Amino acid sequence: MPSLSPAPPVLEDPSCKRQRDNDDDDGDANDPPRARKRARARARRRTRLTPEALRRLSRDTVRSEQRTVQWVQSEAFGSSRGQAKKARKATAALGISSSATSHRRSRRSSKTSQSTRTNSIDSASSIHDASAAQILRDHQIYGPAKRCAPANLVELQEKMRRPRASVSPSRVDEATWERYCRAYYAAKNEDAVTANFMQHFPGNAPYETIQNTAFRKMASLTPSARLPPVKPDIAAGLPPEDIDIKIRREIGAYVLTTNGDTPALVNSFTELKGPRGKEKAGLEQAAYDGAAGARAMHKMRSFGLSAEPEPDGNARTFVTSYMQGTTAFYASHMQPPGRGATTGSYHTYPLGGEFSLGSAAQFRASITSYRNLQDIAASERQAALQLAHAQSVAQQGPNTQDPAAASSVRQARQASSSTKRARRVESSSDDDSYASANEDECNDV
């Protein structure tokens, strides 16, 4: 059999070799794809060193790393736990971060978080958000930390502690308190705490109440920032039909709560917290609720006047905060505009509190204060309503005005003036340094 000799080597044309090595050559006219490829190569080499070019280089590098890591993790080692560990070691050996695949996602998250931090200054999705407290302060809504007491503080504290026959030891005995304590400690959530509270505290008061409903009809208290509407756990007010339709049309944005048949002119709020409730959130809720009620009462009392008077500093709105068995009571009022301000400020100040789980006596004291404040709030609502209705009739002119209505207006105004004078006389006998300090706190806004 003849032996096969190797084929002689094929000598490559030197011109062809030079043509391949020369990337700048335009190539054969009959080979457009190669020409386009070389044109793109030349364009890449001629790229100017600009910020955009550097960003594109970084992006291309990251994409290359992503493809490498994905191949190593999915193709070479699979998806089991042990194989994933080998994949991480392999990518580390290649000098590539195992988090390269999530680089773009993390960049998007970073941009989102930066945007959220920027927008959180003037918006909050809930009153519990960290930015909500600053939004309230920006709109002159202050909680107990401001230490601005209402002008009628002493009077309110005295009325709040008046004994009630319905809360005597014979009616609210040790056994009742024990049932209350067992139900409280057995509560797993806020709903259970609310049910236990409603069973013992409100009593049989015939007040219009609403639970866990947002006041979407009411004008925002923070017009320059986005904050959800007031949404108390329990609120008490007047039936909307008790308010004259003319008044509802003119100041409905301040006294109505929703478009439905819900209480209006709400000036009594209750905020309840479950077993894991936070005290800070409760204070901010109290300030927010109290501001809504104080504004509503001021608008109602000022209805029909040629010019809206300055707030008199008396509290006519009340908030109860119930958390961890402690019942804290607050009064909310408005103050005239301070230095450099154009609108009045809202202040919520503590009236007192009781630890209802401590003893049966403390339990009775908590119920007494709560029910008394409910009665005080109802009395203030009726007084404001009568004043607004009388002033509405007085607006009709001397020819159509009812003499009884005119007399009612005069009596209401005189009673208000007499109350103010009495409080001024009473406050003048108090410690002057305390009054001066309190005035500075209220006006330093």
Tokens of 422: 């009495």
* 445 compared with 278, residue with greater pLDDT: 278
**Average pLDDT value for residue range 120-141:** 82
59: confidence class by pLDDT, cuts 50, 70, 90: confident
pLDDT tens digits, 162-191: 999 999 999 999 999 999 999 999 999 999
413: confidence class by pLDDT, cuts 50, 70, 90: low
> Mean pLDDT, the chain, as a whole number?
79
> Pairing relation of β-strands 317-323 and 264-272?
parallel
Check residue 101 and give its pLDDT.
45
Distance from C-alpha of 315 to C-alpha of 338, rounded to nearest angstrom: 18
378: confidence class by pLDDT, cuts 50, 70, 90: very high
116: confidence class by pLDDT, cuts 50, 70, 90: very low
In the predicted model, is pLDDT for residue 409 greater than 60?
no
330: confidence class by pLDDT, cuts 50, 70, 90: very high
Any idea where the domains of the chain sit in the sequence?
31-105, 139-443
Sheet hosting strand 264-272, strand order edge to edge: 141-142, 345-355, 326-335, 317-323, 264-272, 234-238, 208-211
DSSP label at residue 399: T
433: confidence class by pLDDT, cuts 50, 70, 90: very low
In the predicted model, is pLDDT for residue 290 greater than 90?
yes
Highest mean pLDDT among 13-17, 43-47, 78-82, 163-167: 163-167
In the predicted model, is pLDDT for residue 426 greater than 90?
no
Tokens of 151: 């002008």
Which of 431-439's residues contact partners 24+ apart within 8 Å by CB, and which partners?
438/147, 438/148, 438/149
CB 373 within 8 A of CB 318: yes
How many residues would you count in the chain?
445
Please state, as a whole number, how many other Cβ atoms lie within 10 Å of the Cβ of residue 184.
18
